[in-house]
């Protein structure tokens, strides 16, 4: 399809800046500095991941999962540098959506915006449900027990009750016994059992109200919660270091590379928070200087915290015992430190609250930017005259997150969140190559450090092929045993990875591409290959729904179309 097609109409940087400051909906309050941005990034990154999913990742990968955090952080550094360049070039809300509009055109911008809606909404649901579990556990510690039917979704309770009927109580886990009991004791409306996760719905309502009334209030709340939870994480590292047994670190990678990489989704879910920093660009006092600094600072700080806490966790107990939802509290209980476990349970509620706050800030600002461009209903761009926040978009975000969190279980969607994030990250890295190629980077206040990839990208590709043929005989044998249908189902992304690397090698030779954005594309694409095929199927269905909306509304209502 021709680049002159209306589907690929682009917005210039000047046009985006003009639209942002002359919109009829009003302007956002500019109150954020570097410290506030770093705080928001840490709030999102050191959230549900460090207090819950880190346990499962450690169980699968053993102590070597600490290296997975380093590898994922390296992938994120390449991406963060690309985000930082875009943020200094196009300092408006909208994150990867806005950047794609400049680099690739309207259709890609819509796809990324639609993917980000999924990423933020599903992240919020998962975080809200995780918060509910910790909150209910904390209340039990104080002797307060909520009725079971008010703290669980109907699907989980019904499945547990049916299992109880078919297999008996002896076959049920403790959680399944609780769920079956909640189902049996729930009030009924005819044949319908009334079950809902009330804490998850209420925390979403409260956070939405806070985000609605202002960025200043949200900033203050975030800063306070971040200080508390970073203090607790440091306390865990320092106190736990005295109980580390080096023999627990052996074997270091018990399940090999495959076991370590199986935690990619859980680990990467923790790192997507720095994307949310870019959604607050219009509320920064000096976005072109502050946002690049904040992204790098928070990524470095969070990586160090994650690596240290993973080493402490796997050193305090054997990795095989870490398949629990509250690993930090568990390891201290296991070592007889119940007081520390109690402190962690309380602090985890605070930590996850701050993560939910940042995600709820990001979602409405993406909708606002898409609406400003005419791709969504214009009410999404409405700014509250008193609170200076995207009021309508914030309310809709609260409903979109709160209602599913009340009634559904969202465990599966952690992987689905990562699919949308990887997709956005790859386009942002590719967008920097476009900025460089077109000379737009000359106006960037921050630029990705230039390393000429003319021979480097292709040279590494050749070395990788030689290494695979020399040391990857088991991999080659595995591929030969697969049918064509199995390769298409399970290995298609791996094929795309190698084709992309080959293509980028040729383009880097022709155009002297910068090596760091290319490295960002390849590392994110490689990590994508570790996600399940079922997640991609749902993601494709979600994109198909989005394209229907785009062609039935956004394509015609786009401001570029009207011009």
C-alpha 359/C-alpha 203 separation (Å) is: 13
Write the pLDDT tens digit of every residue in 322-344.
776 667 777 887 888 777 777 77
pLDDT of residue 226: 81
Half-sphere exposure of 100 (CA within 13 A, CB side): 26
Average pLDDT over residues 488-503: 86
**Is pLDDT at 93 greater than 70 in this prediction?**
no
Average pLDDT over residues 395-402: 92
Q: What is the dihedral of CA 124, 526, 323, 228, to 10 degrees?
A: -50
Specify whether the CB–CB gap between 161 and 180 falls below 8 A: yes
Average pLDDT over residues 429-443: 86
Average pLDDT over residues 33-57: 76
Nearest to 363 by CA among 179, 192, 124: 124
- What phi, psi does 309 have (nearest 5°)? -70, -30
Mean model confidence pLDDT for the chain: 82
**Is pLDDT at 1 greater than 50 in this prediction?**
no
**Is pLDDT at 313 greater than 60 in this prediction?**
yes
Write the pLDDT tens digit of every residue in 109-149.
898 888 888 777 877 887 888 788 778 878 887 888 889 89
């Amino acid at each position: 399809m021709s680049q002159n097609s209306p589907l690929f109409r682009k917005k210039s940087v000047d046009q985006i800046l003009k639209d942002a400051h002359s919109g009829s909906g009003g302007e956002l309050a500019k109150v954020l500095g570097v410290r506030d941005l770093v705080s928001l990034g840490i709030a999102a990154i050191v959230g549900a991941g460090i207090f819950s999913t880190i346990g499962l990742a450690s169980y699968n990968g053993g102590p070597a999962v600490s290296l997975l955090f380093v590898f994922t952080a390296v992938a994120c550094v390449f991406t963060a540098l690309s985000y930082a360049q875009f943020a200094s070039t196009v300092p408006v809300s909208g994150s990867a959506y806005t950047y794609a509009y400049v680099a690739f055109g309207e259709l890609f911008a819509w796809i990324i915006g639609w993917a980000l809606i999924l990423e933020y909404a599903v992240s919020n649901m998962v975080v809200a449900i995780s918060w509910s579990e910790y909150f209910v556990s904390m209340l039990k510690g104080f002797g307060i027990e909520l009725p079971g039917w008010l703290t669980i979704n109907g699907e989980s309770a019904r499945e547990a009750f049916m299992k109880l009927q078919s297999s008996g109580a002896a076959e049920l886990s403790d959680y399944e016994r609780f769920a079956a009991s909640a189902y049996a004791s729930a009030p009924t409306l005819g044949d319908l059992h009334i079950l809902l996760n009330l804490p998850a719905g209420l925390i979403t309502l409260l956070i939405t109200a806070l985000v609605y009334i202002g960025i200043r209030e949200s900033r203050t709340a975030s800063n306070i919660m971040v200080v508390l939870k970073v203090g607790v994480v440091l306390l865990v590292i320092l106190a736990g270091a005295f109980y580390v047994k080096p023999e627990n670190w052996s074997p270091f990678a018990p399940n090999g590379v495959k076991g370590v990489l199986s935690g990619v989704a859980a680990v990467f879910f923790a790192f997507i928070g720095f994307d949310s920093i870019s959604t607050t660009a219009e509320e920064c006092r000096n976005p072109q200087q502050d946002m690049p600094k904040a992204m790098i600072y928070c990524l470095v700080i969070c990586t160090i915290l994650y690596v240290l806490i993973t080493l402490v966790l796997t050193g305090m107990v054997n990795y095989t015992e870490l398949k629990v939802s509250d690993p930090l509290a568990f390891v201290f209980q296991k070592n007889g430190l119940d007081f520390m476990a109690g402190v962690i349970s309380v602090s985890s509620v605070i930590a996850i609250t701050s993560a939910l706050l940042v995600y709820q800030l990001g979602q409405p600002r993406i909708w606002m930017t898409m609406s400003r461009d005419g791709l969504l209903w214009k009410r999404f761009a409405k700014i509250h005259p008193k609170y200076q926040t995207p009021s309508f978009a914030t309310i809709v975000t609260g409903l979109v997150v709160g209602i599913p969190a009340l009634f559904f279980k969202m465990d599966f969607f952690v992987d689905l969140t990562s699919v949308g994030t990887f997709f956005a990250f790859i386009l942002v890295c590719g967008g920097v190559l476009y900025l460089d190629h077109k000379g737009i980077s000359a106006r960037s206040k921050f630029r990705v450090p230039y390393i000429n990839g003319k021979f480097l990208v292709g040279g590494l590709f050749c070395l990788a092929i030689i290494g695979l043929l020399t040391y990857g005989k088991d991999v080659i044998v595995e591929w030969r045993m697969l049918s064509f249908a199995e390769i298409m189902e399970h290995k298609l992304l791996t094929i795309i990875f190698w084709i992309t690397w080959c293509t980028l090698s040729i383009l880097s030779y022709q155009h002297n591409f910068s090596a760091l954005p290319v490295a960002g594309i390849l590392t994110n694409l490689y990590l994508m290959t570790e996600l399940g095929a079922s997640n991609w199927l749902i993601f494709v269905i979600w994109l198909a729904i989005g394209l229907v909306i785009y062609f039935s509304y956004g394509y015609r209502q786009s401001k570029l179309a009207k011009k």
